[in-house]
Chain A
Amino acid sequence: MAVQTEVATETVTVHIMGKRYEVPKGLTILKAIEYAGYRLVRGVGCRGGFCGACATVYRKAGDFRLKVGLACQTVAEDGMYLTQIPFYPATKAIYDINALKPSADAVLRYYPEVVRCLQCGTCLKVCPQELDVMRYIAAAMRGDIAKAADLSFDCIQCGLCTSRCPAEISHYHVAMLSRRLYAKHIASPAPHLTQRLEEIRAGKFDAELEALMKADKETLRKLYAERDIEPEELVPSTKTDED
């Protein structure tokens, strides 16, 4: 049998948790880690830049700056020293959103540490979504819940802000509280949501769900392969260090 000619692939050198690997050029960090032989159980999720599970910090040889990116959205470049931060401990309050008012008091009651903010702006430098983290904390602190919700809307809760904050603030949970307060008490209710909830309660989707629960593996595979997916051109392009 004819042996397929090996195509010479251009490679880049990356260091994953301190160990050196040669990986093909053009892979995302996530794929590079997998190419190097790691099987990711944590630190990976949607692979589409939405879930925030694959937060990664890195440095490049010769540059003191700490950089961040989502592993599924950032292309691995030559000389990257990488590690993933799949989880970072954060204070997470339990509250009854109905009993709260959209005010500074609600924020300060559950996250009093926000007032320790030193405004160093470190959170601004590590947000892979490039959100104005420091200012949504400032807005929440002064009770401007609508602004805090708006500024934090694209937060994917990767937790990198929280990992770097010298004031030990859990920004992304403060953001979640702000958005919940906004949705519950400031935004006008969405009629289609109420309608859909009624449909769910009335059991409109029960049969469909039950059928899925009972389906065998092959059927599920087929359904998965044939599911509705966004057309390729609508999928956001992978992010490189330059942009």
Chain B
Amino acid sequence: MKVAYYPGCTLASKAKAFDQTARWVAQKLDIELVELPQWQCCGGLVPQVADAVMGLLAPVRILADAQSIGDRLVTLCSFCYNTLKRANLIIQQDAERRQKVTDFLEQQYDGKVKVVHMLELIRDEIGFETVRSKVTRALTGIRVAPYYGCLLLRPSKEIGLDDPEDPTVMEQLLEALGCDVVDFPRKVECCGSFMIVNRPEIAAQCSATILRSASNLGAQLLVTSCPLCQFNLDWQQMRMLESNGEISPVPVLYFTQLMAMAMGIEPYLLGFEQHLVDPRPAVMELRL
């Protein structure tokens, strides 16, 4: 299966571990990820006002470039996914803005590329049974809490990846890997997001609530699909572990890192050294 792949800036810098494990997992699952030959930032957000055009240039350029590779564009970062998918909807539904954007870009694009998150591709086209069949080191007995955050699920009418309040795609994936899924009530709450930049204390509070909830329910690992959620939870967790014994460590992994571990990746390819809260002690203790 050949699909266009848009890594996005974060996966090319701070979240290289996400990119490299995703490519490894894709290969195992016979997905050929064809990285766009040239790409830039997706914009990070889709404009929220109806007459804003400038903010659409970046995502639409990416979508238009993807056309030459295939009918689907796969991405992994929740921000990129949200931005590209919603920009695509605007192009499909708003003829006036479509005209303006494509005129300015001097590229033809009518919204025909389907924006797909890797989780969607795995669920809908590869299937969890195939995932299960590729597992060489089942993560039996490991208590993993899936954390979705906001952008992977909401606004649900536009994103539609899963139920915004009670999603199951990561739970199903974790089950296929053999994990014990820890269902925790904060899994669709916000990590604090961009607040980390200008009001870090707010982000810290949001992330602390999520971490406490997961830790109290006995999670040994958290998994996410968002580099910013990963960073916020990782950063706040590092601070909490340094300051008090309030929580026991719950290293925050990308779902592709966990998949790769279950599918027998060489440990040095996991990129654990890029984490603030080192997952290695937990992983060793769990004998993974």
Given known contacts A132-B38, A134-B40, A138-B40, A120 and B57 CB-to-CB distance under 8 angstroms: yes
Measured CA separation A173–B54 after assembly (Å): 25
Inter-subunit contact A104/B13 (CB<8 Å): yes
Given known contacts A138-B9, A144-B12, A119 and B38 CB-to-CB distance under 8 angstroms: no
Q: Which residues of B contact A138 (CB under 8 A)?
A: 9, 40-41
Q: Does B105 contact A (CB under 8 A)?
A: yes
Q: Does B58 contact A (CB under 8 A)?
A: yes
Within 8 A of B (CB), among A130-176: 132, 134-135, 138, 141-144
Q: Nearest chain B CB to A153's CB is how many angstroms away? A: 16
Q: Does A48 contact B (CB under 8 A)?
A: no
Inter-subunit contact A119/B58 (CB<8 Å): yes
Measured CA separation A132–B65 after assembly (Å): 15
Please classify the interface of chain A as helix (H, G, I), strand (E, B), loop, or mixed, using the class held by over half of its residues.
loop
Q: Does A118 contact B (CB under 8 A)?
A: yes
Within 8 A of B (CB), among A105-141: 117-121, 132, 134-135, 138, 141
Q: Does B43 contact A (CB under 8 A)?
A: yes
Measured CA separation A120–B54 after assembly (Å): 7
Q: Which residues of B contact A132 (CB under 8 A)?
A: 38
Measured CA separation A132–B43 after assembly (Å): 18
Q: Nearest chain A CB to B84's CB is how many angstroms away? A: 13
Inter-subunit contact A119/B41 (CB<8 Å): yes
Q: Does B61 contact A (CB under 8 A)?
A: yes
The residue of chain B having its C-beta at the shortest distance from the C-beta of A125 within the complex is B106
Interface residues as binary, B28-70 with A (CB distance below 8 Å gives 1, 0 otherwise): 0000000000111101000000000011011001000000000
Given known contacts A118-B57, A119-B58, A120-B57, A144 and B41 CB-to-CB distance under 8 angstroms: no
Measured CA separation A112–B9 after assembly (Å): 17
Measured CA separation A132–B9 after assembly (Å): 17
Inter-subunit contact B13/A119 (CB<8 Å): no
Inter-subunit contact A119/B57 (CB<8 Å): yes
Q: Which residues of A contact B54 (CB under 8 A)?
A: 118, 120
The residue of chain B having its C-beta at the shortest distance from the C-beta of A132 within the complex is B38
Given known contacts A120-B54, A134-B40, A144 and B105 CB-to-CB distance under 8 angstroms: no
The residue of chain A having its C-beta at the shortest distance from the C-beta of B40 within the complex is A138
Measured CA separation A134–B40 after assembly (Å): 8
The residue of chain A having its C-beta at the shortest distance from the C-beta of B12 within the complex is A142
Q: Which residues of A contact B12 (CB under 8 A)?
A: 142, 144
Q: Which residues of A contact B61 (CB under 8 A)?
A: 119, 121
Measured CA separation A141–B12 after assembly (Å): 11
Q: Which residues of B contact A104 (CB under 8 A)?
A: 13
Inter-subunit contact B38/A142 (CB<8 Å): no
Q: Which residues of A contact B38 (CB under 8 A)?
A: 132, 135
Given known contacts A104-B13, A144-B13, A121 and B57 CB-to-CB distance under 8 angstroms: yes
Measured CA separation A120–B55 after assembly (Å): 9
Measured CA separation A120–B106 after assembly (Å): 12
The residue of chain B having its C-beta at the shortest distance from the C-beta of A119 within the complex is B58
Q: Nearest chain A CB to B206's CB is how many angstroms away? A: 24
Inter-subunit contact A143/B13 (CB<8 Å): yes
Inter-subunit contact B57/A142 (CB<8 Å): no
Q: Which residues of B contact A135 (CB under 8 A)?
A: 38-40
Q: Nearest chain B CB to A57's CB is how many angstroms away? A: 19
Q: Nearest chain A CB to B25's CB is how many angstroms away? A: 23
Inter-subunit contact B13/A142 (CB<8 Å): yes
Measured CA separation A134–B61 after assembly (Å): 12
Measured CA separation A118–B104 after assembly (Å): 13
Q: Nearest chain A CB to B61's CB is how many angstroms away? A: 7
The residue of chain A having its C-beta at the shortest distance from the C-beta of B38 within the complex is A135
Q: Which residues of A contact B57 (CB under 8 A)?
A: 118-121
Q: Which residues of B contact A144 (CB under 8 A)?
A: 12-13
**4 nearest A-B residue pairs (beta carbon):** A138-B40, A119-B58, A142-B9, A142-B13
Query: B residues bordering A, Cβ < 8 Å?
Result: 9, 12-13, 38-41, 43, 54-55, 57-58, 61, 104-105
Query: A residues bordering B, Cβ < 8 Å?
Result: 104, 117-121, 132, 134-135, 138, 141-144
15 A–B contacts, CB within 8 A, in A order: A104-B13, A118-B54, A118-B55, A118-B58, A119-B41, A119-B43, A120-B54, A120-B104, A121-B57, A135-B38, A138-B41, A141-B41, A142-B13, A143-B13, A144-B13
